[in-house]
Amino acid sequence: MPGWATIRAGNYGAAVGDLDRWPGARQLYRASGLSPAQYESAGKRRDGGISREGSVALRRALIDLGLGLWRTDPAARRYGQQLRARGKKGGVIGCAMAHRANKIAYALVRDQTGYNPDRWA
């Protein structure tokens, strides 16, 4: 995968551990604490920032993979620029890149295949 050298891939592998314990990429992302938090009181719902409930190592590894994806993958860069054009700030874009990187990394490890940019464009 372009942009994911040994250190980034190793950090992800160490944070994930045995992939068989995760039913899917969604559960893995939720365990990182990057999913949005929601607060509800007196019938009013308020959406917050990221929940931060989960593995710090996994959260850092996913953000780092997202950064590598942003820097090297043209499709990911276009997606990030579209988010910025819609008024999203850096933290939201970072979480979106981490989410995209998580789906790609999970699929690559699960299927034991190489990166195909046409599949993820």
71-76: long-range contacts (C-beta < 8 A, 24 or more apart)? 71/3, 72/2, 72/3, 73/2, 73/3, 73/117, 73/120, 75/117, 75/120, 75/121, 76/100
Reply yes or no on whether the pLDDT at 81 is more than 90.
Answer: yes
Query: Which pLDDT value is given to residue 48?
Result: 67
Residue ranges per structural domain of the chain: 6-120
pLDDT for 119 equals 80
CB 50 within 8 A of CB 34: yes
The arithmetic mean of pLDDT across residues 71-76, rounded, is 88
pLDDT tens for 90-99 read: 888 988 999 9
**At residue 60, does pLDDT exceed 90?**
yes
Q: Quick check: 84 and 93 in contact, CB under 8 A?
A: yes
**What's the pTM value of the predicted model, to 2 decimals?**
0.81
Angle of CA points 51, 64, 46, to nearest 5°: 20
